[in-house]
Amino acid sequence: MNIRFAVVAAATALVALPSWGADLQVAPGTTFSISGFFGVGLKQSSLSNTVRAGVKDELRLDDNTSRLFFSGSSKIADGYNVVFQVGSRFTTDVRPTDSGVGSITAGQITGWADDDTWAGVATPYGRLIFGKNSFYWSDTIGLPHLAGALDAPGEGYRVWDANGLTTFNILNQTPTLTKTNILVNSYVLGITRSRNVLRYDSPNFSGFDFALALSKNPVGDELKYPGYATPDATKSYSRAYNEGLTTYARARYNKNGIVLHASFLDQKIMGGTYSAALYNGALDTKAYRLGGGYKLPFGLKLGLVYDHTELANGISGTGISASTAWDPILKTGAAATVIMAPGSITAGDAKRDAFEVTASYPVGDHTFHATYGKAGNVSSIADSGATQINLVWDYALTKRTFVGLVYTNLKNGSNGHYAPFLAGSNFGPSAPNPISATATPTNSFNGENWSQLGINVQFWF
């Protein structure tokens, strides 16, 4: 039986993952299973090149985030089954009412059925499901240590660190420039489970398979656009229901040590509103991701992933906003606009190219990983890219329990605004949040650098 996992860190990540445990037969032709994982890390992180006073280092225990999955299958006829999955996230370090990241409570990033949760029909011709589902932002992350069929060209560590994944911090981020000249980072699909999804997964054809998905509104309900900023309550910038549609397509190949991947995303949020004070229009997304990897006979695996993303109306400002030193205790400081040379920034779509190179090598129960990621400039904004290096060692305590060290170093260009996903208080939440002189900055400033060393444990059950 197959189940779908959203695997990762502090609020997400995922792949189609076969169950490693035996199914419990609860009736003739009907099976039920419980599975999941615990992921916890002790992390030391620090900032450099920052103007923020009193914000530099921190040591914390972090849940990456742990998951619990209930799944089942009921036979209709030979080869045909009704299938379902209920995925829930929980944290071992805080209670649901505690603060999670910044002002976000833990209950907002965990909860019953808040992971990939769906129902549908599996047939010899493929599987059709509907519900909450992860796609695109999770592409190219692999778990080959749990099942060879889950190999992928991107990151495939056996211990996870939500904040340190290059996929999250480089491939899934595209900074935008608001009308108030503030550069902020955005996320492809918000790095979360998409709602209202109808998805088809093909059978495996000798190592090749494909998937198609569509949704009228993957990031919210049918009434509003909960995107970058607070929706306009007057709905004067609303898009009609039939004008929105998100489509997704993915093809991959995995056989004989070769892994290939291609995916495409086109997202227009239906019923959308946006802040006219910040942008010229809704931040519709178009993106594609390509990847390839090869495992050499002696065990060394190499991979390359490339991502191109465009956010419509993502360049609305004429300069870059910097800030004087901000004191988070006294709440003093001011935002100051630094205007670049006339004509150096052209209003329009925010576009950027990014890639990551991965390598891993097993030695007995040990595996060593290295990842390098780089994001190019955003459209016409000079020095707005970033680089990231990950060095990881992990060790198998049992077949499904791993411990290891994860070192991450994220470095922004002078106008770069890439941030670690769900970092602690020293970097603030990485969800876009414009900075002003009258509000406490909860996000990073341009040009800040971040590093982290974590001792992490991952236990699958």
Report the CATH number at residue 346.
2.40.160
Residue 57 located in a structural domain: yes
Q: Which of 394, 461, 452 is nearest to 421 (CA)?
A: 452
Distance CA(342)–CA(84), nearest Å, equals 57
Contacts 24+ apart (CB under 8 A), 233-241: 235/273, 236/273, 237/272, 237/273, 237/274, 237/276, 237/282, 238/271, 238/272, 238/273, 239/268, 239/269, 239/270, 239/271, 239/272, 239/273, 239/282, 240/270, 240/271, 241/216, 241/270, 241/271
Residue 8 located in a structural domain: no
Q: How many distinct structural domains can be found in the chain? A: 1
pLDDT, position 221: 61
Residue 309 located in a structural domain: yes
- Which residues of the chain, if any, have pLDDT below 70? 1-23, 52-54, 97, 99-109, 220-242, 271-273, 321-344, 425-426, 428-444
Burial zone of 234 (CB within 10 Å; 0-12 exposed, 13-18 middle, 19+ buried): exposed
Residue 4 located in a structural domain: no
Residues 6+ apart with CB under 8 A from 58: 44, 45, 46, 424, 425, 426
pLDDT, position 75: 94
User: Does the predicted TM-score (pTM) go above 0.85?
Assistant: yes
Residue 419 located in a structural domain: yes
pLDDT, position 286: 96
Structure tokens at 75: 């036979």
Residue 383 located in a structural domain: yes
Residue 439 located in a structural domain: yes
C-alpha torsion 322→326→331→337, nearest 10 = -10
Residue 358 located in a structural domain: yes
Domain interval for residue 434? 42-65+125-460
pLDDT, position 20: 47
Q: Which of 246, 225, 222, 227 is nearest to 236 (CA)?
A: 225
Distance CA(202)–CA(215), nearest Å, equals 18
pLDDT, position 170: 96
pLDDT, position 198: 97
**Count, residues in the chain:** 461
pLDDT, position 321: 64
Three-class SS of 90-121: ECCCCCCCCEEECCEEHHHCCECCCCCEEEEE
Give the SS3 label for residue 190: helix
Identify the bridge partners of residue 81 per DSSP, sorted by sequence position: 75, 122
Give the SS3 label for residue 219: coil
- Tracing tokens 């198609």 back to the chain, one arrives at 212
